[in-house]
């Protein structure tokens, strides 16, 4: 039975060191220290496996067992020697002498088997005892000769090797004293060395100079520690409950139930306590990891928090949350730079119990952060102002007793925003690592704030641009109406007695009034959807030509179809587009030229051509200037948006406006418009 238990003990050790060896092998980058650590772990794995086999089957020679005992402990001693300061480990007599002793102790059991009686029976025990003693001395020398600020890196290694050598020393000193090896101590040794594996793993993770790029999941350690602590708490709770029931007399069961319920509520309160989680996280980070932060995980978390555009929280609140989670802060406030240079309150997260709406841009704290780019520890500033160039405590923070850190958020060279974080849930030392990650995360957050501000300004600029463009179109139409009315006024004295002139003048005035009413309707309905109508293109062209008949040369319509040509459009907008192009053709042809308008039907497209015999345009002008808004060749009398507006509206209908022109021969504009397919489409209404 004892042999079976011992076999299980060493089997557990074999599995533990097999895992440790594979883990180190996959992370090793070729340095001696990491290689020796891998060798020592592999030898321990081999030693545990052979002992488990021997205790189960008893088929191996005793000399092999003793040689593996020496080899296993010798491997750890050689690794320990590599870590010692050079003045202790570089002496060749120590190195070669130690290697020789280990080699002798490995060979001695085999020689004792060949020549019995020459070596005492206790020789293997004495050799193991000496190795354990050397190990204890080496651990003491390593710890004592390591600078105090560097002992954090080798603390768990010294604890593991010291525990291993102390256990070996006790085992073999007792064996020498009583002339036998204690079976229980020998059996438990497998489990004891298994307990040292986490200490070796943490030491490897803390010492990157061993070139073992080890990674231990912080979440795994945190949750494992939480589960382990919960289990221990439950065991203690069960033991105390049993004690209360057993010794509580008549009220024992009642007190036991009350105690278990109270202890359970306390456990739930601890599990859901942010402060308790913060204390545990800080404790584990401080004692088990070489760096406080898992930078890959933190960077992903910060990016995800800042990118949650669909979150109910504003970007300002997410910025504070992202920074506060880095230092376990429960609340914070964000101020953002305004155009005038001062900083305005933007958002708060948690309950900072403080509010400052505005910070002056010339405040000494602002100037200090702009110049130094430091994170200001307000507790430290109040106690030791000389560390901050004797900076005065900010007057606008006197009412905030929980104020802790002022984090500058730089975008490029500009101090874009400031975040105030309140005191953390657990005590956190603001060392270089904490300050660096806060400054780096602050730059990331500032870029998000800058992008949001730029997007807001761009949206406002686009809204103003749309309004200005609409105003330009309205002014363009009003200019044409004013030109028509001006022509009527100029000829009124001369032709006032002519009935035909009066009729034409009244028709022109009526047209201008109707057009201005439609423009006012469009201005009142900015942003509202308008519906297209099914209109006959022939009728619309006739109305446009009648409106343009008052200017020479009068355009002529050539209709090449003998039936209605229906299109879906807004009559006013399409008519205005046609009128713009016809007017440009009249102005280009001059009083003695000609303008022809042709209507044709080709498949499912209606074609309207406006042709003149004016001076024409070259290809560069057509490509670079003709359809560019606010580009005009008419000087102060033109707006430069007629052709652009006409083409954009025709394209919105699903058609196009093309132009063919030759300098000295005239121009031809071609409207391509899709034909309406049926009456049902018109009645349902299609948004323009």
Asked whether the bond before 553 is cis by omega within 30 degrees of 0, the reply is yes
Percent of the chain with pLDDT over 70: 76
46 pLDDT higher than 90: yes
Q: What confidence score (pLDDT) does residue 285 get? A: 60
Tokens of 487: 């022509």
Nearest to 323 by CA among 404, 249, 383, 402: 404
Classify burial at 380, counting beta carbons within 10 Å of its beta carbon; exposed 0-12, middle 13-18, buried 19 or more. Answer: middle
101 pLDDT higher than 70: no
Q: Are 162 and 101 in contact (CB under 8 A)?
A: no
pLDDT band at 93 (very low <50, low <70, confident <90, very high): very low
Q: Residue 531 — φ and ψ, nearest 5°?
A: -105, 140
Q: What confidence score (pLDDT) does residue 203 get? A: 86
Nearest to 650 by CA among 630, 670, 676, 628: 670
Q: Are 267 and 230 in contact (CB under 8 A)?
A: yes
* DSSP letter, residue 623: I
- H helices of 182-273, in order, are 183-195, 197-206, 218-247, 252-271
Q: What confidence score (pLDDT) does residue 662 get? A: 86
Q: If you average pLDDT over residues 529-537, what whole number do you get? A: 75
Residues 6+ apart with CB under 8 A from 147: none
534 pLDDT higher than 50: yes
* DSSP letter, residue 687: B
Q: Are 42 and 6 in contact (CB under 8 A)?
A: no
520-545 burial: b if 16+ Cβ within 10 Å, else e:
eebeeeeeeeeebbbbebbebbeebb
Indicate the average pLDDT of the chain. 79
Q: If you average pLDDT over residues 421-442, what whole number do you get? A: 84
Length of the chain in terms of residues written: 688
The Cα–Cα gap between 543 and 540 comes to: 5
120 pLDDT higher than 50: yes
533-536 vs 666-674, strand pairing mode:
unpaired
524 pLDDT higher than 50: yes
Residue 59, helix vs strand vs coil: coil
Tokens of 620: 């560069």
Residue with tokens 């005239």: 666
Residue 304, helix vs strand vs coil: helix
221 pLDDT higher than 70: no
User: Topology of domain 531-684, per CATH?
Assistant: Heat Shock Protein 90 (3.30.565)
- CATH top-level class of 305-454: alpha beta
Tokens of 263: 């202890």
The Cα–Cα gap between 407 and 402 comes to: 15
Q: Are 328 and 278 in contact (CB under 8 A)?
A: yes
Residues 146-184: pLDDT tens digits?
Answer: 887 678 788 889 999 999 999 999 998 988 888 888 888
Name the CA dihedral angle for 516, 521, 527, 528, rounded to a multiple of 10 degrees: -140
């Amino acid at each position: 039975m004892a042999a079976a238990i011992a076999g299980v003990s060493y089997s557990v050790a074999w599995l533990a060191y097999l895992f440790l060896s594979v883990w180190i092998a996959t992370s090793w980058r070729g340095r001696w220290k990491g290689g020796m650590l891998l060798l020592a772990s592999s030898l321990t794995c081999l030693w545990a496996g052979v002992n488990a086999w021997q205790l189960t089957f008893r088929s191996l020679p005793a000399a092999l067992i003793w040689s593996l005992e020496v080899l296993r402990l010798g491997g750890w001693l050689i690794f320990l020697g590599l870590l010692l300061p050079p003045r202790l480990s570089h002496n060749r007599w120590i190195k070669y002498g130690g290697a020789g002793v280990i080699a002798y102790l490995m060979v001695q059991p085999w020689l004792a088997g060949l020549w019995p009686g020459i070596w005492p029976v206790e020789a293997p025990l004495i050799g193991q005892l000496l190795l354990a003693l050397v190990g204890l001395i080496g651990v003491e020398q390593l710890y004592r000769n390591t600078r105090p600020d560097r002992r954090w890196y080798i603390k768990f290694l010294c604890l593991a090797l010291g525990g291993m050598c102390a256990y070996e020393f006790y085992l073999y000193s007792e064996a020498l004293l009583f002339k036998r090896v204690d079976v229980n101590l020998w059996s438990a040794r497998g489990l004891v060395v298994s307990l040292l594996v986490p200490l070796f793993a943490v030491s490897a993770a803390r010492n990157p100079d061993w070139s073992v790029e080890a990674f231990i999941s912080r979440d795994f350690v945190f949750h494992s520690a939480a589960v382990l602590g919960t289990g221990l708490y439950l065991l203690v709770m069960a033991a105390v409950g049993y004690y209360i029931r057993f010794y509580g007399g008549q009220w024992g069961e009642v007190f036991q139930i009350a105690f278990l319920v109270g202890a359970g509520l306390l456990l739930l309160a601890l599990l859901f306590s942010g402060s308790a989680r913060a204390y545990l996280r800080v404790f584990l980070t401080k004692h088990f990891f070489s760096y406080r932060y898992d930078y890959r995980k933190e960077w992903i978390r910060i990016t995800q928090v800042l990118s949650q555009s669909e979150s109910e929280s504003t970007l300002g609140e997410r910025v504070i949350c992202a920074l506060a989670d880095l230092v376990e802060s429960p609340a914070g406030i964000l101020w953002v730079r305004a155009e005038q240079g001062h900083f305005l309150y933007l958002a708060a997260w948690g309950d900072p119990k403080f509010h400052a709406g505005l910070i002056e841009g010339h405040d000494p704290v602002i100037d200090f952060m702009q110049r130094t780019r430091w994170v200001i520890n307000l507790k430290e500033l109040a106690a030791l102002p000389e560390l901050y160039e004797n900076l005065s405590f900010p007057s606008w923070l006197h009412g905030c007793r929980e104020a802790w850190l002022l984090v500058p958020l730089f975008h490029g060279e500009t101090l874009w925003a400031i975040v105030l974080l309140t005191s953390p849930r657990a005590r956190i030392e603001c060392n270089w690592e904490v300050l660096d990650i806060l400054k780096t995360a602050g730059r990331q957050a500032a870029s998000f704030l800058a992008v949001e501000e730029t997007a807001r300004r761009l949206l406002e600029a686009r809204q103003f641009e749309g309004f200005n463009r609409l105003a330009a179109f309205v002014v363009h139409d009003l200019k044409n109406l004013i030109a028509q009315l001006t022509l009527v006024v100029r000829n009124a004295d001369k032709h006032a007695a002519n009935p035909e002139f009066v009729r034409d003048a009244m028709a022109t005035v009526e047209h201008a009034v109707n057009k201005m009413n439609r423009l006012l309707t469009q201005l009142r309905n900015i942003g509202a959807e308008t519906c297209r109508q099914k209109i006959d293109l022939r009728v619309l062209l006739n109305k446009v030509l009648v409106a343009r008949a008052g200017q020479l040369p009068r355009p002529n319509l050539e209709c090449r179809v003998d039936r209605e040509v229906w299109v879906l459009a807004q009559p006013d907008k399409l008519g205005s587009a046609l009128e713009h192009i016809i007017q440009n053709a009249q102005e280009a042809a001059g009083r003695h030229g000609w303008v022809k308008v042709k209507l044709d039907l080709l498949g499912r497209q209606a074609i309207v051509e406006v042709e003149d015999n004016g001076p024409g345009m070259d290809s560069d002008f057509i490509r670079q200037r003709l359809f560019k808004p606010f580009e005009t060749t008419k000087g102060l009398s033109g707006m430069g948006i007629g052709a652009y507006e006409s083409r954009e509206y025709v394209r919105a209908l699903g058609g196009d406006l093309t132009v063919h022109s030759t300098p000295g021969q005239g121009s031809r504009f071609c409207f391509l418009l899709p034909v309406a397919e049926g009456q049902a489409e018109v009645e349902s209404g299609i948004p323009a």
